[in-house]
């Protein structure tokens, strides 16, 4: 090796293709901390730290055999003063390998700082991603809970509008549906008729056969009335033994006919304990009607039916 190369300000090594060192210059022996003569015959990897050995063994041979050279391989040398980072270039020439090593302590510290910062950023991004994912999950959960509640509420609302004894709509529903019918009649030229029905001498049924039978009669009647109306009509248990039917799209004259048919069907239908008849008051919806006004007319009509001998229909 010529003098200039021997004392060059970079480490220089020549090896056999199998990695055994033929010559090493002054600088490399200075970095390693051993005499250059002692480096002879040692394997090039014996100068490396364990991680560098692993890396070198994995990548050096494949690359140099393909390209006859290796550039800028970052490695750390095992020295008496601990690991020393170096950048290595190598080439294959005349069936020997030549290596140059340049110390890069300051650069390496700088790069390590960058890597640490990069890892921190990656960690933060990862954490943020994770937190975001969790948040999305919670939001989705919240949304599905909200849907459940809405559904449960509408179920409850429906339940609250049904009379538990007869399973037909109750007074609460009546308030809503009558408002709706009146509004529709005012805005859309929609006809409907209001029937109020009352069981004749219902008190006697209760007194004679007991309340359970009375309840049975109410249930049977509700069932039979349900069979008398169409899906657009509304049947309501108004309270006690009183029912209301709203006949959708029906004017009062036709309503009377329907009411009379209902009355007759109830009268001739079979009842387990005693025959049942009903009295009905009918009123067609009029302009400017309110819930009270239409009810009042029908109720007066019912009163008349009762007073006039029961089991009959009166229009008012």
Judged by CB under 8 A, does residue 45 bind other proteins? yes
User: Which listed residue (7, 33, 41, 59) binds other proteins by CB under 8 A?
Assistant: 59
**Residue range at the interface with other proteins (CB under 8 A); choices 67-75, 136-144, 174-182, 293-301:** 67-75
Q: Decide whether 56 or 174 has the Cβ nearer to other proteins.
A: 56
Q: Give min distance, CB of 66 to other proteins, in A.
A: 6
Q: How far apart are CA 106 and CA 259, in angstroms?
A: 104
User: Which listed residue (67, 110, 130, 223) binds other proteins by CB under 8 A?
Assistant: 67
Q: Give min distance, CB of 105 to other proteins, in A.
A: 14
* Dihedral of alpha carbons 178, 180, 186, 189, sign: negative
Distances in Å between the Cα of 123 and the Cα atoms of 25, 117, 127, 154, 274 are 44, 10, 6, 46, 84
How large is the C-alpha radius of gyration of the chain? 50
Q: Decide whether 5 or 102 has the Cβ nearer to other proteins.
A: 102
Q: Decide whether 63 or 229 has the Cβ nearer to other proteins.
A: 63
Judged by CB under 8 A, does residue 102 bind other proteins? no
Judged by CB under 8 A, does residue 98 bind other proteins? no
The Cα angle at residue 22 between residues 17 and 26, in degrees rounded to 5: 130
**Residue 267 corresponds to which tokens in the numbers above?**
């009268």
Beta bridge partners, 237, equal 243
**Residue range at the interface with other proteins (CB under 8 A); choices 52-60, 197-205, 259-267, 297-305:** 52-60
User: Which listed residue (43, 291, 296, 310) binds other proteins by CB under 8 A?
Assistant: 43
Judged by CB under 8 A, does residue 57 bind other proteins? yes
**How many residues lie near other proteins (CB under 8 A)?**
31
User: Which listed residue (29, 61, 79, 219) binds other proteins by CB under 8 A?
Assistant: 61
Judged by CB under 8 A, does residue 190 bind other proteins? no
User: Which listed residue (7, 33, 37, 65) binds other proteins by CB under 8 A?
Assistant: 65
Q: Give min distance, CB of 139 to other proteins, in A.
A: 27
Judged by CB under 8 A, does residue 100 bind other proteins? no
Judged by CB under 8 A, does residue 113 bind other proteins? no
Distances in Å between the Cα of 31 and the Cα atoms of 16, 78, 84, 98, 172 are 22, 9, 8, 17, 96
Q: Decide whether 43 or 201 has the Cβ nearer to other proteins.
A: 43
User: Which listed residue (50, 121, 124, 125) binds other proteins by CB under 8 A?
Assistant: 50
Supply the residues annotated as catalytic: 241
Judged by CB under 8 A, does residue 187 bind other proteins? no
User: Which listed residue (58, 120, 251, 290) binds other proteins by CB under 8 A?
Assistant: 58
User: Which listed residue (20, 184, 201, 306) binds other proteins by CB under 8 A?
Assistant: 20
Binding-site ranges for other proteins (CB under 8 A): 17-20, 43, 45, 49-59, 61-63, 65-67, 71-76, 111, 115
């Amino acid at each position: 090796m010529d003098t200039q190369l021997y004392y060059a300000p970079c480490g220089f090594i020549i090896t056999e293709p199998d990695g055994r060192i033929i010559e090493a210059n002054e600088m490399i022996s200075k970095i390693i901390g051993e005499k250059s003569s002692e480096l002879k015959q040692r394997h090039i990897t014996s100068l490396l730290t364990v991680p560098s050995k692993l890396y070198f063994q994995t990548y050096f041979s494949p690359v140099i055999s393909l390209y006859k050279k290796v550039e800028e391989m970052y490695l750390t040398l095992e020295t008496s003063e601990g690991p020393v980072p170096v950048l290595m270039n190598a080439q294959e020439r005349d069936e020997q390998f030549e290596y140059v090593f340049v110390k890069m302590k300051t650069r390496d510290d700088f790069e390590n700082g960058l890597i640490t910062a990069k890892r921190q950023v990656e960690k933060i991004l990862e954490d943020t991603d994770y937190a975001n994912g969790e948040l999305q999950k919670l939001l989705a959960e919240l949304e599905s809970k909200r849907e459940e509640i809405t559904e449960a509420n509408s179920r409850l609302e429906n339940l609250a509008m049904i009379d538990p004894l007869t399973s037909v709509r109750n007074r609460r529903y009546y308030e809503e549906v009558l408002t709706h019918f009146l509004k529709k009649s005012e805005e859309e030229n929609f006809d409907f008729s209001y029937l109020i029905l009352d069981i004749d001498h219902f008190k006697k049924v209760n007194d004679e056969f007991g309340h359970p039978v009375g309840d049975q009669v109410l249930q049977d009647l509700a069932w039979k009335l349900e069979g008398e109306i169409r899906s657009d009509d509304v049947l309501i248990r108004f309270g006690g033994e009183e029912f209301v039917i709203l006949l959708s799209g029906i004017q009062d004259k036709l309503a009377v006919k329907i009411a009379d048919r209902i009355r007759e069907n109830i009268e001739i239908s079979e009842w387990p304990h005693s025959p049942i008849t009903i009295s009905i008051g009918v009123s067609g919806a009029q302009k400017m009607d309110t819930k009270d006004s239409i009810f009042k007319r029908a109720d007066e009509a019912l009163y008349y039916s009762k007073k006039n001998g029961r089991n009959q229909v009166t229009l008012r």
